[in-house]
Amino acid sequence: MELLTCNLYHITLKACPEEPIPLYVIQNCCRDLGQALDCLRTLGIIHGDIKPTNIMWNPVKEVFILGDFGLSFYEGKQPLQPIQSAGYQAPEVMRWNSKLKDPANLEDMAVKGCGLASDMWSLGCLLYFLYKRQHLPALPWQQSCNNCMQGKTCHSLCDVFEPQCPTNKTSILIQDLLAR
C-alpha cells in the first residue's frame, strides 16, 4: 500500500481557499468516490466518515482514494459509537448519534437505516461543500420535523420541505457530474 500524504482538504480548501474548485476536480472526486462506495456496497461495508480529510489524492494514478476506515462497519452490525462527522451526517445518523448520548436508549438501539444510504448522503454533502465551499445549510426537517428527530418515520422528506426538493436543474447537474 502506498503512502499518500495529500488529501482533498489540502488540495482544494487549504491550498486555494479563495478560488473556486474546478468542476473537473469535483467530477473526478464524484466518480472515484462513487466507485469506492460501489465496491464497499458489494462487500457489505459502510464507511461511516466521508469527509475531505478522509479522501486521499494519488498523484501517480491521478485518482481520489477513500481512506480512514476507523468508523466503518458491516451493514446491519453497527457499533455502539457515533459515526459520520458534523456537516456530513445523514438524518438517520443524526438520530443514531443522538440516541447514543443517553444510556437509557441503549436497549432501544434498533434504529435501522445507517447503511449505504448514509454514506451516499455524506457524499452528497461533500460534493455540495466542494461546489459551494460551504456546508449544507440546516434543512427544515432538522429544525421542525419532530417525528424524524424522535426516530419516527416521515412519509417522505419531501412532505417536510417540498418547496426545496431537488429541481430538474439539480438532477441535470448530478447527471453531468457522474457522466464525466
108 is catalytic: no
CA-to-CA distance for 59 and 158, rounded, in angstroms? 41
Task: Calculate the alpha carbon distances from 165 to 141, 156, 178 in Å.
Answer: 12, 11, 20
Q: Which of 49, 102, 119, 159 is catalytic?
A: 49
The two counts, helices (H) then strands (E), for the chain are 8, 4
- The catalytic residue among 32, 38, 159, 176 is 32
CA dihedral 163, 164, 167, 170 (to 10 degrees): 170
Indicate which residues carry an active-site annotation. Answer: 32, 49
